[in-house]
Amino acid sequence: MKKIIMKRSLAIEIKGLRKTYAGGTKALKGLNLSVEEGDFFALLGSNGAGKTTTIGILTSLVNKSAGKVHVFNYDLDKDINAVKSQIGVVPQEFNFNVFEKVIDIIVCQAGYFGVPRKIAEKRAEEILKALDLWDKRNKVSRSLSGGMKRRLLIARALIHKPKLLILDEPTAGVDVELRYGMWKYLKELNKEGMTILLTTHYLEEVEQLCKNMAMIREGKVIAQGSVQELLKSLEKQSYVLEVYNNEKAQKQIMEVEIAANESITALIQKLSEKGILVNDIQPKTNRMEQLFLKLLK
């Protein structure tokens, strides 16, 4: 395995990536993307923008038409097996054998990555316990609920201890409680140093989890940067406030709009000075949704 020394520490470096499918559909049209090591990165875009194709190329399930892809400085064209070793992937669709037991799916996957069976069994126990699937280890996968199947995909992706975890809409169809549990687990993995690339349609997920993001449109990256910085680019934000008039003690609902670079705390302070107390604040529209729509315009 030949490792190319580069200055920056990048988990993913994609340059001029193009993909034209057999039917002539151009899914990627010169996509450029950089994801730093240790990042929690969101890849956003409408349906058909090219997110899944990009993930497919990274994970060797889709052949690229042109461009260069490096994963932890390994060249996909020259060191495909080294690239594969770095990646754990959680696909959008369930793609395990429905007749196999949970434990067999996990341990086999470890074997394909060269992890000895005894080590794989030990790791499987740790991961399945962390994902609350240990009790189901001897169940065939088709008997699991949708949420359990999602967690099984995550467990399978983690069994060989990848440096890069790619999640393609991992919380689709997952209930709120489970989603929060998955977020917590993913945050822990990222804290421990794992680079995570996430695609999702739950934009709240991006705001909660991701440090950086890129927006894809028609096979090209149209914006990339820090989630917080991009959110600041919104011109204004709307809030719904539940307020009390100090003298009349009457509850009222009011809508306010403030510039994106202004603080909501300053507004509360001003209202308080006028004898209006704020009991509750809710953003009128999701900020990430606003940003998403703005970038897509």
Contact positions vs another protein (CB under 8 A): 21-22, 56, 59-63, 80-82, 84-85, 87, 89, 91, 93, 95-98, 100, 104-105, 108-109, 111-117, 156, 160
CA pair distance 294, 297, nearest whole angstrom:
5
> Residue 113's closest CA among 133, 84, 144, 80?
84
Q: Shortest Cβ distance from residue 61 to another protein (Å)?
A: 6
Q: Provide the minimum distance between the beta carbon of 97 and another protein in the complex, in angstroms, as a whole number.
A: 4
50 or 56: whose CB is closer to another protein?
Answer: 56
Smallest distance from the beta carbon of 38 to another protein, in angstroms?
A: 22
- Residue number with CB closer to another protein (22 or 249): 22
Which of 99, 248 has the CB closer to another protein? 99
Q: Which CB atom, from 153 or from 295, has the smaller least distance to another protein?
A: 153
- CB of residue 34 to another protein, shortest distance in Å: 22
In eight-state DSSP terms, residue 7 is: S
CB crowding 127-153: b at 16 or more within 10 Å, else e: bbebbebbebbeeebeebeebbbbbbb
Beta carbon nearer to another protein, 61 or 254: 61
Q: What is the DSSP letter of 133?
A: -
- From the CB of 238, what's the least distance to another protein, in Å? 43
| Residue closer to another protein (CB basis): 92 or 238 | 92
Cα–Cα distance measured from residue 83 to residue 89, given in angstroms and rounded to the nearest whole number: 12
Shortest Cβ distance from residue 233 to another protein (Å)?
36
What DSSP designation does 101 have? Answer: B
In whole angstroms, give the CA distance from residue 271 to residue 243: 9
CA angle 149-89-146, nearest 5°?
15
The H or E element containing residue 112 is helix 102-112
